[in-house]
Amino acid sequence: MSDPLDDIDKKILLLLQHNARMPISQISKEISMSQPSVKERIIKLEEKNIIAEYGTALNLRELNRGTTTFILVKTEQCERFVEFCKGAKEVTDLFRISGEYNYLIKVQTATVEELAEFQDALVQLGPSKSHISLKNIFENRIVL
């Protein structure tokens, strides 16, 4: 684990977190620091692996995947289940968890009907418990 971030690093990351394509020049203006210094800090954050990657978040509703469901799964066929999830485009997140259930998956479907079809395929791998998301209040939030 790395040293804690100082306030300038935090400011830079706050800007980059929701706009990874912001030019260095603009970051430089916003935090009142010269471009080379900003660039240097960003490179260090990348090298220290604090910045994992620059990603592009897509709008799932526009992609016709607006229905979010969390499913807890209890299976005895772990390998087969993981392969099933990797091959199912509906599954966006897959975690191995502790407790009564083995796995927690996050599933994005167009509709609840499509969710039902997914569950039909899932049922042969073991019992599961679904929780449809009624509202995404916030997501992927990292408070520095």
Partner DNA sequence: GTTGAAAAAACAGAGGA
Partner DNA sequence: TCCTCTGTTTTTTCAAC
Footprint on this chain of a second copy (rule: CB under 8 A): 1-2, 5, 13, 16-21, 48-65, 68, 70, 72, 82, 85-86, 89, 91-99, 101, 104, 108, 129-144
Based on CB atoms, which residue is closest to a second copy, 57 or 120? 57
Residue 10 interacts, among a second copy, DNA, none and using kind-specific CB cut-offs from 5 to 8 Å, with none
Spatial separation of the C-alpha atoms in residues 65 and 131, rounded to whole Å:
16
- From the CB of 32, what's the least distance to a second copy, in Å? 21
- From the CB of 53, what's the least distance to DNA, in Å? 16
- From the CB of 87, what's the least distance to a second copy, in Å? 9
- Those residues whose C-beta lies under 8 Å from the C-beta of residue 77, and which sit 6 or more positions away, are 125, 126
- Distances in whole angstroms, Cα of residue 26 to Cα of each of 50, 54, 63: 21, 17, 31
Residues contributing to the site for DNA (CB under 7 A) = 8, 23-26, 32-37, 39-41, 44
Q: Pairing between strand 67-73 and 103-109?
A: antiparallel
> At what angle are helices 24-31 and 7-17 packed, to 10 degrees?
130
Q: Three-state SS for 115?
A: helix
Based on CB atoms, which residue is closest to a second copy, 96 or 120? 96
Residue 24 interacts, among a second copy, DNA, none and using kind-specific CB cut-offs from 5 to 8 Å, with DNA
Spatial separation of the C-alpha atoms in residues 70 and 113, rounded to whole Å:
15
- From the CB of 28, what's the least distance to a second copy, in Å? 16
